[in-house]
Amino acid sequence: MDLLKAILLPACLVASGPFAFAQADIEAVIVETYYISDANDATDVIGGNLPEGSRTYRVYLDLCDGCSLRALYGDVNHPLRITSTAPFFNHADRGKAYGHQISTGWLDEGTVAVESWLALGGASNQRFGVLKVQDPDGSIVGGANNDGGSETVVGGLLVNADVAAGIALTQGDGLMTVEGAVVLPPQFNVIGDDPEVAFGDQAGQSSFISSDVRVGCSMPGVVGPTAANQVLVAQLTTTGELAFSLNVEVQRPNGDLVRYVASDSVLLAGETAFGQLNYPPQCGCTDPNFLEYDPAAGCDDGSCATTIIFGCLDMLACNYDPSANFNIPQLCCYGPGNCNGLDVGLICPDVGIDEESDRGALIVAPNPVGDVVHVQLPILVDVAEHRITDVSGRTLRSGRVQRIDQGASVDVRDLPAGTYVIMLDTEQGRYHARFVKP
């Protein structure tokens, strides 16, 4: 029997779409090009002369079902950084630091709709921000809907249909209302440095960097306006190159508050590094089956080169494997002579999967997992015995699951972060799958 059949690597869940990244609580970070200004937009002198060629970006957190956003923050270990190589556009007459402070009645006035601000979901005091491709109700801001905002151009603002910005603002403005929902974040508060210095009207700054700021709200936090649960956290307009490093507080469905930080240089209790909170994304090897794998990489740069081979690298062990490049001490067997003829079950208990009874993989979703791992078999099975092991094959948990063909859940909230194998023993044989718990 091949002992290394017991070693399974985590599958990396990579969301589709430009600049979309996966995580257990944060399923994706999405940067949308919302609008690109033209020469007509620069005529809005009341707004403060929006330069031609300015790009408006919107940043969304795609959260797990039931998760909510509690805060954006920066501290001494993890500064909040939002920068550009040129000043951010701050509307001279209607500029605000936060999206929910923008009056909906202002959105058809000149270039107010592309003002720069931070957000906890709201793009105005009555409307949530959504991706333009998900906008259900057209536009109230562009073209004929726009009052011009100046004496020079009437109805000619925010009409540019540059294909690099996707759907034109005259067709979809990424604004929507939700019946019964209140846009204002519950008990909204700002502690420490106020982003008003960079995003208030006429601020004219090209950066906001703070090691002492929390822009947040109280429980239950902010959720997205659609079933996708995508929460708008910033709208930023500039002619320069945008960059940011965000840190966020996320509340899980069970009430637990977790912090996701952009850097893993220092990690305190309750903090999880999530490098994809950086923009532009930092590229690296995104395949966990390679030694070069970088869990913080937001895009693949082709640097994956060395396939991981698990084995025992102790030359004193009877199963020393010189072809391995990733040592698993628990796999090392020690006995007289060599391992041939020895009972591996006695020498290395709980290591390996019985080759004869193993029938293949079962479905695990999502992966990486959260507090529970959801598994399903493609065959009809009423009852199965499950066993969860670590990568060395040590059994950590076992029990019984029912109606596995319809999908079953196994609680793994007490397991530490790591890579695991779940095995199901049925009358038809044994099935296994690998999963990772961040």
Position 64 pLDDT exceeds 90: yes
**Percent of the chain whose predicted confidence (pLDDT) is above 70:** 82
Q: How confident is the model at residue 278 (pLDDT cuts 50, 70, 90)?
A: very high
Position 343 pLDDT exceeds 80: no
pLDDT at position 391: 62
Tell me the C-alpha distance between 328 and 44, whole Å. Answer: 65
The C-alpha angle with vertex 274 and arms to 119 and 61, in degrees rounded to 5, equals 30
pLDDT at position 200: 87
Specify the higher pLDDT residue, 352 or 244.
Answer: 244
Q: How confident is the model at residue 151 (pLDDT cuts 50, 70, 90)?
A: very low
Which of 88-97, 352-361, 395-404 is predicted with the least confidence, judged by mean pLDDT? 352-361
Quick one: average pLDDT of 97-107? 95
Tell me the pLDDT tens digit for each residue of 260-274: 999 888 889 889 888
pLDDT at position 148: 64
Tell me the C-alpha distance between 395 and 6, whole Å. Answer: 12
Position 245 pLDDT exceeds 60: yes
Average of per-residue pLDDT values in the chain? 82
Residue spans per domain, the chain? 26-280, 358-437
Q: How confident is the model at residue 24 (pLDDT cuts 50, 70, 90)?
A: confident
Amino acid at 246: L
Does the global pTM surpass 0.85?
no
- Write the class of the CATH domain 358-437: mainly beta
Q: How confident is the model at residue 97 (pLDDT cuts 50, 70, 90)?
A: very high
**Percent of the chain whose predicted confidence (pLDDT) is above 90:** 45
Tell me the pLDDT tens digit for each residue of 180-209: 889 999 999 999 999 999 998 877 899 999
pLDDT at position 7: 28
Q: How confident is the model at residue 17 (pLDDT cuts 50, 70, 90)?
A: very low
Tell me the pLDDT tens digit for each residue of 210-230: 999 999 999 999 999 999 999
Specify the higher pLDDT residue, 14 or 74.
Answer: 74
Tell me the C-alpha distance between 68 and 249, whole Å. Answer: 9
Tell me the pLDDT tens digit for each residue of 165-177: 999 999 999 999 9
Cβ-based neighbours of 151, under 8 Å, separated by 6 or more: none
Cβ-based neighbours of 322, under 8 Å, separated by 6 or more: 313
Asked if 248 and 72 count as a contact pair (C-beta separation under 8 A), the reply is yes
Asked if 66 and 222 count as a contact pair (C-beta separation under 8 A), the reply is no
